[in-house]
A and B are shown apart, each in its own frame.
Chain A
Amino acid sequence: MFDNADALLLARIQFAFTVSFHFIFPSFSIGLASYLAVLEGLWLKTGKPLYLDLFKYWLKIFAIAFAMGVVSGIVMSYQFGTNWSVFSDKAGPVIGPLMAYEVLTAFFLEAGFLGVMLFGMKKVGPRLHYTATLMVAIGTFISAFWILSVNSWMQTPTGYEINAAGQFVPGPSWWAIVFNPSFPYRLVHTVIAAYLTTALVVGAVGAWHLLKDRKNLHARKMFSMAMWMAALVAPVQIFVGDMHGLNTLEHQPAKVMAMEGHYDSHPDGAPLILFGIPNSAEKRVDYAIQIPKASSLILKHDPDAPLAGLDTIPADRQPPVGVVFWSFRIMVGLGMLMLGLGLFSLFARVRHRLYDWPLLHRFALVMGPAGFVAVIAGWVTTEVGRQPFTIYGLLRTADSASPLAAPAVGASLVAFVLVYFAVFGFGTWYILKLMGKSPHSGEEDISDAPIRTAGITPAQAVEGGR
């Protein structure tokens, strides 16, 4: 009924499913932790209760998102061993220490100070509490640093040797492993993506409440902050993404060929295919709408520069084109829309209509989930584009999996799908419910709701007015 190919496919689907689901939460909590640190910092600096209200509002949402990130992340740390044991044996000596550093320098920092951040304000006072908030925010960044180093090493492996047992082992310099060629680009691109994702979510929540009540000062403040972020960061992200693409062209040309839909080589200038339907059987892009020579212009900064196509890559080393082609276009398209939102908000700001232009607010609302979609699409592009390898060019995906029976993997996959949709579905619903409540003066503490939902008590108003 099942054979090894089925077990491999099931293991791949399981990893793709669990990692995609997992990444939604950190891409939000990395940005949100920093946003919370900014809000609390502004509160301490200015003493304005508005910032404390916003801090408390988003802290409740952060607590849920963070918890879901933690529990879905533990799955990832064990899945290397359960489903990809050959990969773990072979790559463990190189990437294992990087992941151990992630645990030692990031996970403990986040987890250790999270309790104080969530529940400790009255116990330790504002200054020490702010330190805890900063530690959590810094922890999320350190975590991104290490895990993206691991991923980048799998994409552009450097600094390794291969021992008699066939394991990848570290060479003389860890620097060459940690700071492998694609790492700086991937790190900057991913962290900015997290900030942008968060800005879009905060902006959408602000927009939602402005559509209901454009006088709500809390909604105004969060919307304004989010729109500044989008306007400033979206162009930076497009620039960084372009540099990341050039880096990929240098180290993983086959991935860029798939992204561009270039089945054939173009000796004198390659076209930029805007849209079309990749047809891998016939090795061409059907119904292509393209700009002549534009791809060479972007990738080589010369319209007549030759660009090699997938016809130069052996068939057994090519990534699947369709998925990569589409996911890349989804990411770029959403990036352009984010830029559009940022520019629109600047225009509205200049015309003093930032808070009373329903079209802008509706646009921001619709763009709320765009960051998540773009982040997942970007990851699909880079991960599928790396196929058929786990360690690029060196270890094939088919040679990486655990020797497991297909029914075992099939059963676990079904269990993960059911549990993730149920549990994280509930979690997302709770987050949306919290977002649906309008931010207000004397925002409740995280531990108040829902035991006492009566609203503002005098004691809290005093506390908030400190």
Chain B
Amino acid sequence: MTINFDLATIWAFIIAFAVFAYVVMDGFDLGIGILFPAFGVGEERDTAMNAIAPVWDGNETWLVLGGGGLMAAFPLAYAIVLPALYPPIIAMLLALIFRGVAFEFRWRDPKHRAFWDLAFTGGSFMAAFTQGIALGALLQGIAVSGRAYGGGWLDWLTPFTILTGISTVIAYALLGATWLIWKTEGAPQDHAWRLARIIGPATLAAIVAVSLATPFLDATYFQRWFAMPWVLLSAQVPLLVSLASFLFWRALKLRHERAPFLIALFIFLLCFAGLGISMFPYVVPDQITIWDAAAPERSQVFMLIGAGIMVPIILIYTGFSYWVFRGKVGHDGYH
């Protein structure tokens, strides 16, 4: 039991890391997609696209690791959660198809560029929205019967999940805008500055709304957040969010080019930590813990060896790829 305890917890953290890596890295890709209509046709849009074209594929791979890792390390959780979220997940997959092919297709087919731009924005928006819905649906709880999902196919649809969906769209847009501040100059950057000033406060409002709603979904969440001694730890999260928001605003005022993105990342990290406080050690709230869902030790050890060797290597060459494409991007492709 002791060894299993350690392994399941380690794997919970690895998968949380993969999900977080996905959320922030594809978050700014999707955010740029969401903001795409705000940018002018031609140079501005081409620049915005170039800011992510070489890296989006690698960013999206973290989503596959999150899903594949969940199946491998916690197969029971994978088997219960995915059918419960069937419509939003299918919608997300279809949305990611439109978003992904738009990168190539819009360059190949000038006549239908407007259509593929729309597919890029629609796909990005829908992927963000459904990911937010999936998160909300998980947080609000899933009906379990035996070793399977026990609810209907529209249980996920509630006001709370719509709120988390919209919040995710706004938060991704913030990452997108701040990434463009970092990576572009001239007209698209000016545009991104203006957008960040609107989306920054909107993101804060979204965080507050979701944070206020969550503890009241379920008595357990309320207890985790407000009972002693947990409150001493959990109270740091909103305090740090307030501090980060102030720093973000200041960075925009002082026109720091990198700080807004980095601070936005930090805010995401705080929200993710808050999510962890609400959920841990459950993967399906109040029903299935990570130990209930864990694959046997042999599976988790075998994968841990692979992850231990490969994840650092992946981070190194991912870093290399970002380094190759460092600096400001132009609008006419990489030469």
Contacts and interface: CB of A to CB of B under 8 A. Distances in A.
Given A67-B103, A111-B57, A118-B54, A99 B333 contact: no
- B interface, over-half SS: helix
Interface stretch (A199-207, A363-371, A400-408): A400-408
Interface in B54-72: 54-55, 57-58, 60-61, 63-65, 67-72
A120 B324 contact: yes
Interface stretch (B33-41, B238-246, B292-300): B292-300
Interface stretch (B147-155, B163-171, B211-219): B147-155
Interface string A54-70: 00000000011001101
B98 interface: yes
Which of B93, B96, B333 has the most C-beta atoms of chain A within 10 angstroms of its own C-beta? B93
Given A96-B303, A427-B101, 5 more contacts: A71-B96, A81-B79, A81-B82, A108-B65, A114-B58
Interface stretch (A162-170, A209-217, A305-313): A162-170
Interface of A: 63-64, 67-68, 70-75, 77-78, 80-83, 85-86, 88-94, 96-97, 99-105, 107-116, 118-120, 122-124, 163, 165, 167, 169-170, 172, 174, 402-405, 407-408, 411-412, 415-416, 419, 423, 426-427, 430, 433-434, 445-452
Contact of A77 (B68, B110, B317): B68
Interface of B: 46, 53-55, 57-58, 60-61, 63-65, 67-73, 75-76, 78-83, 86-87, 89-90, 93-94, 96-98, 100-101, 103-105, 107-110, 112, 147-150, 152-153, 295-296, 298-299, 302-303, 306-307, 310-311, 314, 317-318, 320-321, 324-325, 332-335
Contacts of A408: 86-87, 153
A449 B109 CA distance: 10
24 contacts: A71-B101, A83-B83, A88-B71, A89-B75, A89-B148, A92-B72, A92-B79, A94-B299, A101-B306, A104-B65, A104-B311, A107-B61, A108-B314, A112-B314, A114-B57, A115-B321, A116-B54, A402-B82, A423-B98, A427-B105, A446-B333, A448-B333, A450-B109, A451-B107
A120 B101 CA distance: 20
Contacts of A80: 71, 78
B65 A123 contact: no
B97 A419 contact: yes
Contacts of A402: 79, 82-83, 86, 148-149
Given A78-B93, A103-B64, A169-B298, A115 B54 contact: yes
Main SS class of interface, A: helix
Contacts of A174: 298, 302
